[in-house]
Amino acid sequence: MVSTVSSAETGALIYWFDIRPEIVQDWLDWYLRDHMPSRVGSTFTTGRCFEAIDAPSSHMVLFETSSPEALLAPDYLKLLGTVSDDDRKRRGWYANTVRMTARVRTRLGAGVGSVLSVVRFDESLPTLSSTLMSDIAGIPGVGSVWLAEHDPSIRANMDSVRVTGHQDLSAAGALMTEAAIDSDARRAVSAFNAHFARAGAATPAAVTIGRYRLMYCMTA
């Protein structure tokens, strides 16, 4: 039996973006030694970096907080408003950035996987049944499945103080599956598509689907 981790909502800050292959090593060196340590342990409980297995974005970053409101912690907002000249230049490494400031509405299971499948809803978050999430959570090799919904008010409060990134696109929500191996992640995506086929309904519009391999994880 798979159970919900917590009845309380948690928070997540999620980025999808492209980094040119020749810059990836420089980006990682800065991100893992400087940028992520400045965030995890203060505002964020966990930070993870991913690279694409089969996805429209080359990389993805996922930060988690104990609550959605923690995304607006004063210490973090101060960081957003005090960007160095070097960090402004590093912003040029990113392309096609999508940023989601999210409330984690539902999470089934407690597992963290080495592969993450992501069904991103770019325009609107449809109503997803508990049956769909239970079906995905029941796949062998799936540790957890969770649904995150973008909160535009949190994004607006962040953007009111941040120095860079105002041009980042947004997403309405994401269904994410923590899987042990890529074949389990592919099965999660197939289950998502099959669910709508069985119901005789069209797959929601403006959906971006990708699978990502975990590169690095930092916890508080």
Asked if residue 92 is part of any domain, the answer here is yes
Asked if residue 213 is part of any domain, the answer here is yes
What is the chain's alpha carbon radius of gyration, rounded to the nearest angstrom?
Answer: 17
Structure confidence by residue, pLDDT tens digits, 155-203? 999 999 998 888 899 999 999 999 999 999 999 999 998 887 776 666 7
Asked if residue 67 is part of any domain, the answer here is yes
Asked if residue 123 is part of any domain, the answer here is yes
Reduce the DSSP state of residue 21 to 3 states and report it.
helix
Tokens, residue 77: 């907002």
Structure confidence by residue, pLDDT tens digits, 11-24? 999 999 999 999 99
Asked if residue 142 is part of any domain, the answer here is yes
Structure confidence by residue, pLDDT tens digits, 86-125? 888 888 899 999 999 999 999 999 999 999 999 999 999 9
Asked if residue 5 is part of any domain, the answer here is no
pTM over 0.85: yes
In the chain, the number of structural domains is 1
Range of the domain at 213: 10-219
pLDDT at position 88: 84
Q: How far apart are CA 99 and CA 166, in angstroms?
A: 10
Name the residue among 187, 190, 182, 211 with its Cα closest to residue 139: 187
CATH number of the domain to which 167 belongs: 3.30.70.100
Asked if residue 115 is part of any domain, the answer here is yes
Asked if residue 1 is part of any domain, the answer here is no
pLDDT at position 135: 93
Q: How far apart are CA 33 and CA 128, in angstroms?
A: 38
Angle between helices 182-198 and 130-137 (to 10 degrees): 150
CB-based contact 96:18 (threshold 8 Å)? yes
